[in-house]
Amino acid sequence: MRRKLTPYLLALPGWAWLALFFVVPLAGMASLSLTSGNVITGFEQTFNVANYVDAISTYSEQLVRSLLYGLGATVICVAIGYPAAYWIAFHGGKHKSTYLLLILLPFFVSFVLRTISWKFTLSDNGVVLGTLKSFGLLPADFGVLNTAPAVVLGLAYNFLPFMVLPIYAVLERMDHRVVEAAHDLYASKLQAFLRVVLPISLPGVFAGGLMTFIPTTADYVNASVLGGPGNTMIGSIIQTQYLVNNDYPIAAAITFVLMAVLLLGIFSYARALGTERVMEVQAK
C-alpha cells in the first residue's frame, strides 16, 4: 500500500504548484477575458464575447507580424545553429564541452542587458556601422536600428542557444559508427547526411524549433529596444493593456488568442512528433 502511494506523494507538491499557479491562472484569465467594465467601476462577469472580436479585429496585424518575426528568427536559428551544433558534435573532439559552455555563457548576462548592448553596438555611427562607413563600405545614411531585420536578428541572437542545445544533444547521442557506415555505403557525404544524419536529428530540430519559435513570437523586449515604428509585437500590446491601460478584459482576450494560436501549433506538432520525445530532447 505504502509503495503504491509513493509516486503520488512525490508528485504532490509539484502538482499543487503547477495547478495553483499555472492551470488556475489560465482559467482565471479566461474568466477575466469575458468580463466587461472599467477599472473604476470594476469588471463584471458578463460572458462578453465581444472582447475577443475586439481583440482580433484591432490587433490582428500585430499578431500576424509577431508570428512572422518568430518564424524568421526560428529559421535563422536553424540555419546558424544546426551547422554549429553539427560541427561541435562531430568535430569538436575533446573540446566539445568547452564549445557548449561558450554557447551557454552569454546567458550569464541578463537578457535585457544583452539586448540593450546590441542597441549600442548597432547604432548608425557606432562600433560596427561607423567603422564600415568610415571605410566607405556602407552609404552614410545606412541604418539597421529600428527596423524589422534588427528585431528579428535580436530575437535570433537571444534564443540561438535554445536551438543549438537540443540539436547537439541528438547528434551527440547518435551512434557514430552509423555515420561511418553511411559514409562507406553512400557515395557522397551529402547523401549520407541527408539520408542518415538529418532524419535522426530531426527531433532535435523540432524541439529547438518549439523552444525558439514560442518565446520569440511572444517577446516584446527586442521589438521595443531594437524596433521602430511598425515593429510593435503582440507581447507589447498585452503588456500595455494590462499594466498601462488597465483594460484587463481586452488584455486577457488578446493573451488568450495568442496562446490559442500557439497551442494549436504545439499540439498538432506534438501529435505528429510525440511530446515525450520532444521533452526528452529538451532535458538533455
Partner 1 sequence: MTAVLEDTAAPAGARGRTRRRVDWGKWFTWGVLAWLFAPITFMIAFSFNDIQGRHNVTWEGFTLKWYGQAFDHADLTQALLYTLAIGVLTMVIAGTIGSLLGLALGRHRFRGQGTTNLVMFAAICAPEVVLGAALLSLFLLVGIATGFMAILLAHVMFTISFVAITVRARVITLDPNLEEAARDLGAGPWTTFRLVTLPMLFPAIMAGGLLAFALSIDDYIITSFVAGDVTTFPLWIWGATRVGIPPQVNVMGTLIFAVGVTLAVINVVVAKRRRS
Partner 2 sequence: MRNPLLRGMTQARYGRREMLKFSAMAAAGLGLSACGVSGQQQQAVAEDDFWQGKKETGSLTFANWPLYIDSKRTQLKQFTKATGITVNYKEDVQDIAAFAGKLQPQLANGDATGYDMFVLTNGIELARFLALGYLAPLDHGQMPNFAANIGEAYRDNSYDPGNKHTAPYASGITGIAYNPKYVDREITSIADLWDPKFKGKVGMMSDPQEIANFGLLLNGVNPADSTEQDWQAAADKLQQQRDDGLVRSYYAQDFVQPLTNGDVWLTMAWSGDIYQQNAEAGTDLKFVVPEEGATIWTDVMCIPTTSEAPVDSLKLIDFLYQPDIAAGLTEYITYIPPVPKAQDILREQAHDASGKSRAQLERLVESPLVFPTDEDYSRLHNYVALEPGKEKAFTSVFHAVTQA
- Which residue, chain included where needed, has cell 511572444? 218
Interaction partner, residue 159 (partner 1, partner 2, none; CB < 5-8 Å by kind) = none
Least separation in angstroms between CB 222 and partner 1: 11
Q: Which amino acid is at 169?
A: A
Residue of 1, 4, 6, 41 that binds partner 2 (CB under 8 A):
41
In the chain the beta strands, taken as DSSP E runs, fall at 35-38, 42-45
Interaction partner, residue 178 (partner 2, partner 1, none; CB < 5-8 Å by kind) = none
C-beta of residue 113 within 8 angstroms of C-beta of residue 107: no
Residue with smaller CB distance to partner 2, 75 or 182: 182
Least separation in angstroms between CB 205 and partner 1: 16
Residue 17 touches partner 2, criterion: CB under 8 A: no
Least separation in angstroms between CB 183 and partner 1: 9
Q: What is the DSSP letter of 196?
A: I
Residue with smaller CB distance to partner 1, 73 or 103: 103
Within 10 Å of residue 53's Cβ, how many Cβ atoms? 11
Rounded-to-integer distance, Cα 162 and Cα 211, Å: 6
Residue of 10, 17, 45, 284 that binds partner 2 (CB under 8 A):
45
Query: Could you tell me which of 166, 168, 147, 173 has the C-alpha nearest to residue 212?
Result: 166
Residue of 235, 248, 255, 256 that binds partner 2 (CB under 8 A):
248
For partner 2, the binding residues in 175-194 under the rule CB under 8 A are 194
Distances (CA, A) of 256 to 28, 109, 190, 253: 11, 31, 44, 5
Rounded-to-integer distance, Cα 228 and Cα 153, Å: 14
Least separation in angstroms between CB 105 and partner 2: 27
Interface mask toward partner 2 for 88-127; x: CB under 8 A: --------------------------------x--xxxx-
Interaction partner, residue 150 (partner 1, partner 2, none; CB < 5-8 Å by kind) = none
For partner 2, the binding residues in 142-181 under the rule CB under 8 A are 143, 145-146
Axis-axis angle for helices 248-273, 275-283 (nearest 10)? 100
Backbone Cα Rg of the chain = 23
Q: Total residues at the site for partner 2 (CB under 8 A)?
A: 62
Residue with smaller CB distance to partner 1, 53 or 127: 127
| DSSP characters over 139-172 | -TT---TTSHHHHHHHHHHHHHHHHHHHHHHHHH
Residue with smaller CB distance to partner 2, 195 or 284: 195
In 180-225 the beta strands, taken as DSSP E runs, fall at none
Residue with smaller CB distance to partner 2, 10 or 178: 178
Rounded-to-integer distance, Cα 68 and Cα 13, Å: 39
> Where do contacts with partner 2 occur on this chain (CB under 8 A)?
19, 23-24, 26-28, 30-32, 35, 37-45, 61-62, 120, 123-126, 141, 143, 145-146, 194-196, 199-200, 202-203, 224, 227-230, 232, 236-237, 240, 242-248, 267, 270-277
